[in-house]
Structure 1
């Protein structure tokens, strides 16, 4: 099947894909600022040459093309956008968290293999890189198809005691699919993507694409429990590794939202078991500030709860007048609802 409809290069040049780090991301226009910040954080930290591959859903606006060209030229790297035939996935289960774009990761390894790419690192667009990962990327993890990390959840042992049984897994090693180091040749030869899509079309899983990847890849992943390469927001202070490489802003409080735009280390409450994460909101803003998206405003709250949270964060920062104004905004929005 011909999956690729079109692709566009920013800073096109001859590329030996075997000698570079291939990063895969999937995006649409709604998360471009997150995508750009993720890419900047990678290029600021990695010591090897890198190529960025983006599977994009929809039209890429001209002003965004200019930004990606600026980014590619600044870091002297190639950024390649792909538009794939999504007729086999556009009717799969979707909601506000799982969109058609989320399923692109299932098909993109087939596209990349056509360009003789044997390995890629898939990242969600709510991730930042905070340390070099070149040695990890080039490691030999055969005979496994992917290197993955245990899924951190707000409820301890939720995956082991509930999810794995509910979705029919044999074991309890449930991973987070937002960061995956993938052996493309093995992935394609085992037809992982189409097996996953088949499951998605027959069942309505709560975590859909992540659940099905756990099912079809069970027994074929190198499973890491340390969170070094996928430190998500539900990781507790006593679980945080000494050297974090990727921070994953899971959950609803995405770093590009206005309600967390003042979030930082000093907003952590006494006894907060996840206080480690707050400094990384500041770090996300640092990478965003040196990106071509520096002037893009934060996304406004979409409900009164987020206005209240924004007020609470400002109060903890000592911004009392602002906190009071935001609290009245919260009351107004709550009354309207």
Structure 2
């Protein structure tokens, strides 16, 4: 049997808001992956012990393991504090992964928590890095001149390739040998002052000449054509309204709820409450949105009703 696949998440779980989404991501991985998996959760006191126990139960039921690594960041001196105030501290916890993970973990796949996986994650984990410390996918948005400007503004990255930091494959042995990841990225954060995506920009600065491009399917932004039977790592990047638990515009949103139902946060009452909260948020948004956005909202509602009607019809046949 092959060695365990090591996967890390960065999680700040204030109010218990994000642990259920990370758990759904875990289920999507475990449903498609043959090899044993060890999850490493880079977190803090916001992930309370009852939630940790629930995650242990979930992983144990699938023959997987979950380990928690509590991260303490410096109180000051990180740089770019104003921009970082918009981000979860969980996005910074991954910058400490080389320090806190056991030294015998020499390869690691980092994933954001707004991801659904429909392939065997071992294919991503085994990707050749050709002597680089990092593997990543070219950011799809960087093809747009305007988005490239937002990505690279106030950084020395103009004219260079640019990767999305939601899926990162690390050769930890090489990384520890030639990089001081926290110190280098903290310095890069200061150089990225004013950047729209400071944590991602910092990683691009540090690894500008030390990353290997991975296939686009390993970090792809979903659209209306994305399906569970198309193998990929689907990354719901963007604002809060773009997440699979917050919108019905993607067929994959249904798969999120399928995965969520198999987690400790998936009992019918909890799911009903989560969906009701989502529906209320969508209704509040549409009442204050421009007319064009309201039309898009109504189209999404009609698509969802059509999918649900088809599912009922298929069950009756």
Q: How many residues align?
A: 281
Task: Assess, with a 3 A threshold, how the Cα gap between structure 1 residues 305 and 71 changes in structure 2: closer, same or farther.
Answer: same
Residues 295-306 of structure 1 mapped to structure 2, 5 A cutoff: 295=267, 296=270, 297-298=273-274, 299-300=277-278, 301=281, 304-305=284-285
Alpha-carbon distance in structure 1 between the residues aligned to 2:282 and 2:230: 35
TM-score under structure 2 length normalisation: 0.77
Task: Assess, with a 3 A threshold, how the Cα gap between structure 1 residues 78 and 149 changes in structure 2: closer, same or farther.
Answer: same
Residues 221-240 of structure 1 mapped to structure 2, 5 A cutoff: 221-224=211-214, 226-233=215-222
- Give the structure with the higher percent helix: 2
Alpha-carbon distance in structure 2 between the residues aligned to 1:127 and 1:32: 13
Alpha-carbon distance in structure 1 between the residues aligned to 2:111 and 2:201: 17
2:62 to 75, 81, 101: 75
Q: CA deviation at 1:160?
A: 4.8
Aligned to 2:156: 168
Alpha-carbon distance in structure 2 between the residues aligned to 1:149 and 1:44: 23
Alpha-carbon distance in structure 2 between the residues aligned to 1:65 and 1:202: 36
Task: Assess, with a 3 A threshold, how the Cα gap between structure 1 residues 216 and 37 changes in structure 2: closer, same or farther.
Answer: same
Task: Assess, with a 3 A threshold, how the Cα gap between structure 1 residues 96 and 193 changes in structure 2: closer, same or farther.
Answer: closer
Query: 8 Å contact 2:244–2:252 — kept in the other structure?
Result: no
Query: 8 Å contact 1:71–1:291 — kept in the other structure?
Result: yes
Q: CA deviation at 1:109?
A: 1.8
Query: 8 Å contact 1:160–1:172 — kept in the other structure?
Result: no
Query: 8 Å contact 1:147–1:222 — kept in the other structure?
Result: yes
Alpha-carbon distance in structure 1 between the residues aligned to 2:78 and 2:191: 12
* Partner SS state of residue 141, structure 2: coil
Question: Are positions 1:21 and 2:11 aligned together?
Answer: no
Question: Are positions 1:247 and 2:219 aligned together?
Answer: no
Question: Are positions 1:52 and 2:39 aligned together?
Answer: yes
Q: CA deviation at 1:174?
A: 0.5
TM-score under structure 1 length normalisation: 0.73
Q: CA deviation at 1:209?
A: 0.7
Query: 8 Å contact 2:98–2:181 — kept in the other structure?
Result: no
Query: 8 Å contact 1:148–1:222 — kept in the other structure?
Result: yes
Q: CA deviation at 1:48?
A: 1.1
Superposition RMSD in Å: 3.2
Q: CA deviation at 1:164?
A: 3.7
Q: CA deviation at 1:115?
A: 3.5
Q: CA deviation at 1:38?
A: 0.7
Query: 8 Å contact 1:159–1:174 — kept in the other structure?
Result: no
Alpha-carbon distance in structure 1 between the residues aligned to 2:224 and 2:76: 35
2:119 to 125, 128, 131: 131
Task: Assess, with a 3 A threshold, how the Cα gap between structure 1 residues 41 and 317 changes in structure 2: closer, same or farther.
Answer: closer
Alpha-carbon distance in structure 2 between the residues aligned to 1:24 and 1:219: 23
Q: CA deviation at 1:138?
A: 2.1
Question: Are positions 1:109 and 2:98 aligned together?
Answer: yes
Residues 185-264 of structure 1 mapped to structure 2, 5 A cutoff: 185-189=173-177, 190-201=179-190, 203-204=192-193, 205-224=195-214, 226-233=215-222, 244-252=231-239, 253-257=242-246, 260=247, 263=248
Task: Assess, with a 3 A threshold, how the Cα gap between structure 1 residues 162 and 305 changes in structure 2: closer, same or farther.
Answer: closer
Alpha-carbon distance in structure 2 between the residues aligned to 1:145 and 1:227: 19
Post-superposition Cα deviations, 1:274-330, rounded to whole Å, max 9, x if no partner, equal: xxxx221122121112222213332542883256669623344449xxxxxxxxxxx
Query: 8 Å contact 2:151–2:197 — kept in the other structure?
Result: no
Q: CA deviation at 1:154?
A: 8.8
Aligned to 1:33: 20
- What 5-or-longer segments of structure 1 have no aligned partner? 1-15, 265-277, 320-337
Task: Assess, with a 3 A threshold, how the Cα gap between structure 1 residues 62 and 192 changes in structure 2: closer, same or farther.
Answer: closer
* Partner SS state of residue 213, structure 2: strand
Q: CA deviation at 1:49?
A: 1.1
1:279 to 251, 255, 262: 251
- What 5-or-longer segments of structure 2 have no aligned partner? 307-317
